[in-house]
A and B are shown apart, each in its own frame.
Chain A
């Protein structure tokens, strides 16, 4: 067997099956570290053994069995864990006889446990990336701009909390399912936004995180479709995926050749990823169809995907249907009230009912103090004043945005607006005209 053919099968198996195998091992052993170590070892062994003896008929089953056996061996070697061993042998035996759909449930169990609200948001995100997405601790640390030992400690602490607080390894009971599923969606979307808008550092795009979030959303859509009790959340999962695809389609167009940010308004729409847009729109159409059939209220991701779809289907920025966007933000604010959504609505109002009308709303939000320290309030206020030609009044708000902006590329933009107020470009960080 040629080495590279074996390596290809091992890496393909790891890519599609690793999460499921880890999830199963965690259920059987109840030990997250042991499970991950044994799965890692099993893949390493696969590389050697398959070169000697050929690739097994079912590579994933081979890896699962080897990982399971090595977990049992390790527990057997530590004699004091006799009762743990008894338990693992019993449940390993049980697992072999468990029907396939229950084994697939392991991945849902894993995701729900990683996203348990008794963990801090930071821990949920780190644990999801480590255990579900399979990123290394070093990769996660780099993505969140923290030293690797800090991230390692965060993961250790999260696993300890799961064990010590008795966080169960299962899909939540029906009474908690709606909130907990919303919590899982929130973790995935936060991950996407971290990748998309990068809350720190010198880049506004941290693509790998956005791609991981999309991959996780795909996994969620698949798992939810297979699980009857999760049926009520199928549409929102698809809507979340659609929303992220529609945003992600703009990635290439958001940064110009000189590394500067480009507003949605000024982006070259030919550089948008049509495959991602098509998939996002198709998913959204399916969601809308289900939504009409069930006469349920649209969810928050469905409404946001609708807004993204209005942007992405406009032939150019000027013909964007901002009246529709303002209305959708109003709908969103009605089911999930937030000053950030109100800010977005204010900007859409500016684009459709006149800049003064929008400015009045933005000023009201600014005065309320609810978004104190949020640079997009200052940026929006400055940009609307600039559009009215009131550049002197805009200056202090650009200065405030400059001070509060989280990334270097954004700081550069605001400082340029301050020194050259007559530049043609709109603000890339107006919520609606974000890159």
Chain B
């Protein structure tokens, strides 16, 4: 199954310890195992732009669409057998400790 991991911040999580903040190692390992297709860290909500089209009119505004303390700091596209394997892989990402990770399965599409 294909899953997106949303790597999120969590104000209640502990501050990242420099030594354990090793997302690069996780990326290298999960990519080498063949499970990770792509993924990236993202710039913060201060650099976000929200776009809406309403009654034919384009509305562009600064910031994320919802005011929240937790925001998406990155995403990873991971393919694995089932949710238990996805949980196992996600639990080893440093942001499982210093933030939180939301696992979302792809909407199934016939090609």
A-side residues, CB < 8 A to B, are 116, 118, 164-168, 170, 172-173, 175-176
Sample (5) of A-B pairs whose CB atoms are under 8 Å apart: A118-B83, A164-B105, A165-B105, A166-B1, A166-B105
- Specify which of A166, A167, A176 lies most central, judged by the most chain B CB atoms within 10 Å of its CB: A166
Interface residues of B in 75-111 (CB under 8 A from A): 81-88, 103, 105
Query: Does the CB pair A168–B82 fall under 8 Å?
Result: yes
Asked if B1 and A173 make an inter-chain contact with CB atoms under 8 angstroms apart, the answer reads no
With a cutoff of 8 Å between Cβ atoms, the chain A residues found around residue B83 in the complex are 116, 118, 165-168
Q: Which secondary structure characterizes the binding site on chain A?
A: loop
Nearest opposing residue in chain A for B81, CB measure: A168
Q: Who on chain A is nearest to B1 by CB?
A: A166
Q: State in angstroms the CA–CA spacing of A172 and B82 once bound together.
A: 11
B contact residues vs A (CB 8 Å cutoff): 1, 3, 81-88, 103, 105
Query: Which residues of the partner chain A approach B86 to less than 8 Å between Cβ atoms?
Result: 166
CB-CB nearest in chain A for B88? A175
11 more A-B residue pairs beyond the given contacts A118-B87, A166-B1, A167-B84, with a C-beta to C-beta distance below 8 A:
A118-B83, A165-B83, A167-B82, A168-B82, A168-B83, A168-B84, A168-B85, A170-B84, A173-B88, A175-B88, A176-B84
Cβ of A165: which chain B residues have Cβ within 8 Å of it? 83, 103, 105
Query: Which A residue's beta carbon lies closest to that of B82?
Result: A168
Please give the distance in Å from B80's CB to the nearest CB on chain A: 8
| Top-7 shortest CB links A-B | A168-B82, A166-B1, A166-B83, A166-B82, A167-B83, A165-B83, A168-B84
Instruction: For B3, list chain A residues within 8 Å (CB).
Output: 166
- Whether B84 lies near A173 (C-beta < 8 A) is yes
A176 pairs with B88, CB closer than 8 A: yes
Tell me the nearest residue of chain A to B80, going by C-beta.
A166
By a CB distance below 8 angstroms, the chain B residues around A172 are: 84
B residues in contact with A118, CB < 8 Å: 83, 87
Contacts of A167 in B (CB 8 A): 82-84
Closest to A116 in B: B83
Quote the shortest CB–CB distance from A433 to chain B (angstroms).
Answer: 38
B65 to chain A, nearest CB (A): 25
Residues of chain A lying within 8 A (CB to CB) of residue B85: 168, 173
User: What separation, in Å, do the CA atoms of A176 and B86 have in the docked complex?
Assistant: 12
Bound CA span A166–B81, Å: 8
CA distance A118 to B82 in the complex (A): 12
Report Cα–Cα, A165/B108, bound state, in Å.
11
Please measure, in the bound complex, the distance between the C-alpha atom of A172 and the C-alpha atom of B85, giving whole angstroms: 10
A residues in contact with B1, CB < 8 Å: 166
